[in-house]
Amino acid sequence: MPRWKAVAAAALTAVLVAAASPAQAQRVTVADAAGDNVGPGLDITSVSIRNRDHAILATLTFTRDRRSEVIVFVKARGGPLVGVVSEHPRQGPDSTFLIGGDENDPLCRGLRSVWDRSVATVTMRLPSRCLAFGDYGAVRSLILIETFRGARDVDYAPEKPNGEPAYSDWVPRG
């Protein structure tokens, strides 16, 4: 193969890899050990945080569907902290609201949690305009599970090696 074709192929490969990298960097996934919860309630097995242009999405999977309260704390780099709360009863609709924000703000339309009880998964959506009016870059998160109506903590993710709660890695926006 002529040298110029090899150089062109190498350059094209580098551009394709570089173009693919940001899309992969916009998500962080955290695994959590099953059975590490400290009481009755949801037991987290995995969390995936996506920092998209128009919303932050948190997808959580549990060992099984149970009545609990899920709180996804989202911290903007150099900015505010908000919490998206989903009160998840045994049956019926969930209640979704913000801590550190105003869920009644018309700019925060689209705040929601969608449960799939059959596979014990919830996807929570925080519109970007609800965090620092959309003026932020990277975010990190901490997930807290409480008994229904917040009586006590049950599980959290991620965790430090000593078992204490920790924030996830930073997730770039994009």
Model confidence over 49-66: pLDDT tens digits? Answer: 999 999 999 999 999 999
The reply to whether 17 falls in a domain is no
Phi, psi of 139 (to 5 degrees): -130, 160
Radius of gyration of the chain (CA): 19
In 2-140, where does DSSP find H-type helix?
A: 3-25
Amino acid at 121: T
Predicted pLDDT of residue 15: 35
Number of domains in the chain: 1
In a domain, 74, yes or no: yes
Model confidence, pTM = 0.81
- Whether 129 maps to a domain, the answer reads yes
Which of 97, 98, 170, 108 lies closest to 139 in space, CA to CA? 170
Summarize pLDDT for 132-170 with one digit per residue, the tens.
Answer: 889 999 999 999 999 887 678 999 999 998 888 999 999
Query: Does residue 110 sit within a domain?
Result: yes
* pLDDT score recorded for residue 102: 54
In a domain, 94, yes or no: yes
Cα gap 84→56, rounded to integer Å: 10
- Give the Cα separation of 146 and 174 in Å (integer): 31
CATH number where 48 lies: 2.60.40.1190
Give tens-digit pLDDT for 29-88.
999 999 998 888 899 999 999 999 999 999 999 999 999 999 999 999 988 999 999 999
The Cα 122–Cα 115 span in angstroms is 4
Residue-range definition of the domain harbouring residue 114: 26-157
